[in-house]
Amino acid sequence: MKCQDFMLTDPPRLEQSQTIEKAIKTLIDSKLSALPVVDGSGRLVGLFSARELFGRILPAAVKLGSLVPDLAFMDEPLKHTKGDLDRISRDPVGQHIEKNPQVAHPDTTMMEALLLLYRGRSVLPVVEKGTNRLVGVTWRLHALAKIMESNSDAR
């Protein structure tokens, strides 16, 4: 089983010049936790995600990993948190993406794709080898649904 056989083709995507404000709306409507971001010629430039936005809201020190064990002592009013996002709402989405995300190729095996979804982000873009053109996407629930659609040899 290869990615090209179960991925969602012509997937939802964001243009890198779109504003953050619009991108957040599209993201929420898509019901996905992340969306691939492409340039003018459809090449993948990164992943726009709720996770990336949380990184903007949280103190920069959380990037130091386990050195910040928790933030239980911090309780911020919602309007302050919203303010953090409002400040970047006019920025192009391309400025706030995870660059070089993990990707799969059309001929990547399903086992490898599942491993990437198991270890990494919940959304996995599928790009053409060499050109980096976005051709599909899969995500945890999508892959799970595909698995459940088939008949197993256990029954």
Which residues contribute to the site for other proteins (CB under 8 A)? Answer: 59-61, 63-64, 67-76, 80
Measured CA to CA, the distance from residue 140 to residue 89 in angstroms comes to 28
Q: How far is the CB of 72 from other proteins (least distance, A)?
A: 4
- Give the nearer residue to other proteins in terms of CB position, either 53 or 104: 53
Q: How far is the CB of 87 from other proteins (least distance, A)?
A: 12
Q: How far is the CB of 46 from other proteins (least distance, A)?
A: 18
Measured CA to CA, the distance from residue 150 to residue 65 in angstroms comes to 40
- Give the nearer residue to other proteins in terms of CB position, either 51 or 140: 51
How far is CA 130 from each of CA 4, 34, 85, 106, 151, rounded to the nearest angstrom?
A: 16, 23, 35, 12, 35
- Give the nearer residue to other proteins in terms of CB position, either 77 or 130: 77
Q: How far is the CB of 63 from other proteins (least distance, A)?
A: 6
Measured CA to CA, the distance from residue 94 to residue 138 in angstroms comes to 21
- Give the nearer residue to other proteins in terms of CB position, either 61 or 145: 61
Reported as half-sphere exposure (CB side, CA atoms, 13 A), residue 68 has a value of 12
- Give the nearer residue to other proteins in terms of CB position, either 29 or 70: 70
Kindly write down the DSSP assignment for every residue of 62-107, as one continuous string: GGGGGGS---TT----HHHHHHHHHTTTTSBGGGGSBSS---B-TT
Q: How far is the CB of 62 from other proteins (least distance, A)?
A: 8
